[in-house]
Chains A and B, each alone.
Chain A
Amino acid sequence: MVDRKEIEHLSNLIKIDISNPQKYITQVEKILNYFELLDKVEIKTDDLIRQELTLDKLREDKFVPFEDKLIENLKKTKENFVRAPKMV
């Protein structure tokens, strides 16, 4: 079910260079085979019990300055910018 092409596609999506796809193919396949058990569960209702969040205690919508200079914690900066590799 999971082949080299699939793992390469996934590693591309999660943006991780995977040096040894073979190792992951076997393990991921074994785990997904186990997950198949979900498909066999009989669930009578289509309803999901959703997690309810009470959002009645929101803080005031007011700017709160952060005491630290966050930019100073960054390693790759140039003036007030994050230094990133070239996009094109």
Chain B
Amino acid sequence: MNLAISISQYVQQIHDGVLSSEEFIAKTLERINKVDKTLHAFISINENALEQAKQIDKKLKGKEKVGACLGMPISIKDNICTKGIKTTCASKMLEDFVAPYDATVISKLKSQDAIIIGKANLDEFAMGSTTEFSYFGPSRNPWNPDYVPGGSSGGSGVSVSALECIASLGSDTGGSVRSPASFCSVVGLKPTYGLISRYGLVSFANSIEQVGPLARTVEDIAFILNIIAGHDLHDNTTIESGKPDYTKDLDVGVSGKKIGIISEMIGDGVDKEVQSATKDAVSRFEKLGAECVSISLDSAKHSVAAYYTLASAEASSNLARFDNLRYGFDFSVEGYEYNQYISKARSNFGPEVTRRMLLGTFVLSTGYYGKYYQKAQKVRSLIKSQLAESFKKVDLLLAPTMPILPFKIGEKIDDPLKIYLLDINTIIANLSGIPAISVPFAIAKGLPIGIQLFANSLQEKQLLQAAHALQKTTNLPGVPI
């Protein structure tokens, strides 16, 4: 049996009766046992997965109604709450935390008979771009385990790429779904802000973050999006999207579409392998009948500073709730005064989380608020209006997802600013709320390169159609591990 199948192939094989959920889950667990010691995509595994698969097979045999996911294994980033399975956010502060409820995206997947195979590793509280800031240790890139898998949804990217699940949910605050998608050679979508409920996603930067799917094909992304998108009474930032069928008309192609290549994202600081892959992607779109033009987005050069100002500010406020009293690890309150206790408990936050809280508190403090926070909000507005202008001229925007190839674990860990700057091509989507997708496009020096497409808000259908057209032009090798 082949684990390297897409969702549509899985569905077909189950319907044809040549595959059972139990067989697939058993084989997946075997695969996890074999490769995860090296890759460390998972923080915890669902011990009941096999039993759940048997139940679904039983329903299938009895011709009972079974949800669209038919018992397929899906991994979940460990900052999305799952009832009965630990949700640690890769932090010591939550190492034993079991959420008393399911996030809306989890309830939706479960109601369609998906099996949560395990909880995927991440940078602590999703703060990072390499998955090296996990309290439980880094995940490794399946294309070369000495290299970072991207992040913060690194475990999600690794698990999909290394055939440890069929799809995954991550969260994207500054590129956290698209970065591991690019570095691990899978597809990753950051949807329009408000398209997917954040209820049960542990808050980091509420005005920016979104849950997003990772899978091996664009078709699979459309399938998952159909299930998890939509208004949620538990999250008032969700919007009415009219529930389009994202899997329909995926094949319409890009003929007659106008694609803008963001000039600021293909020049200085971009690896030459990435530059040449981008050129190649542009010429393939042209061959498919799209018109490609150069577009300047000069506000993009301020996006990293604006993003880290705003995200840190929101993080410093969100993380105030972790006082080790309602959540936390075993640490007795006896013998401590209130502030002393909390400060000692909170010293167990990792270095990146602490750094962000220091930064966030600084930029919000008296005397600096106007200089940093307010200015960052204005840059955010500028990015939004420049993007709105661009979408009057073109249907889609294109840029490489990551400016550089994956790099070695440990290479940049002591220079946080260098890591922040890796997000330069992804964060305009988060600051403006527009959707963006990373499509696996090339392998150079044995390492993956992803191409990113952006569309205007709620234009996911158009975005997926173009991404699907691009993916069909590729023929990439299978993962080497």
Task: Spell out A's residues near B (CB within 8 Å).
Answer: 2, 6-7, 10-11, 13-19, 23-24, 27-28, 30-32, 34-35, 37-39, 41, 43, 46-49, 51, 53-55, 57-59, 66, 68, 70, 73-76, 82-87
Contacts and interface: CB of A to CB of B under 8 A. Distances in A.
A35 B385 contact: no
Contact of B333 (A32, A59, A68, A76): A76
Interface string B415-434: 01100100000000000010
Given A31-B420, A41-B302, A75 B330 contact: yes
B305 A35 contact: yes
Contacts of B207: 51
Interface stretch (B130-138, B153-161, B257-265, B376-384): B376-384
A66 B341 CA distance: 30
Contacts of B371: 38-39
Most buried by B among A31, A85, A86: A85
Interface stretch (B115-123, B277-285, B359-367, B463-471): B359-367
A9 B365 CA distance: 11
A47 B381 contact: yes
Contacts of B328: 75
B378 A35 contact: no
B233 to A, nearest CB: 5
A59 B309 CA distance: 34
Contact of A16 (B333, B336, B354): B354
Interface residues of B, number: 63
Interface of B: 98, 100-101, 207, 231, 233, 236-237, 239-240, 302, 304-306, 308-309, 316, 320, 323, 325-326, 328, 330, 333-334, 336-344, 346-347, 349, 351, 354-355, 357-359, 361-363, 365, 371-372, 375-382, 384-385, 416-417, 420, 433
22 contacts: A6-B362, A14-B354, A14-B361, A15-B342, A16-B343, A16-B346, A16-B354, A27-B355, A34-B305, A34-B417, A35-B305, A37-B302, A39-B371, A47-B381, A49-B380, A66-B100, A66-B101, A76-B325, A83-B325, A85-B336, A85-B340, A86-B337
B379 A43 contact: yes
Contact of B375 (A18, A34, A41, A86): A41
Contact of A28 (B233, B320, B347, B362): B362
A38 B339 contact: no
B384 to A, nearest CB: 5
Contacts of B320: 14-15
A58 to B, nearest CB: 7
Given A27-B416, A83-B333, 5 more contacts: A15-B342, A15-B343, A38-B372, A43-B381, A57-B233
Contact of B233 (A23, A49, A59): A59
Given A7-B358, A19-B347, A30-B417, A74 B326 contact: yes
Given A34-B417, A35-B363, A75-B330, A24 B358 contact: yes
A74 B355 CA distance: 28
A85 B372 contact: no
A2 to B, nearest CB: 8
A49 B385 CA distance: 8
A43 B386 CA distance: 12
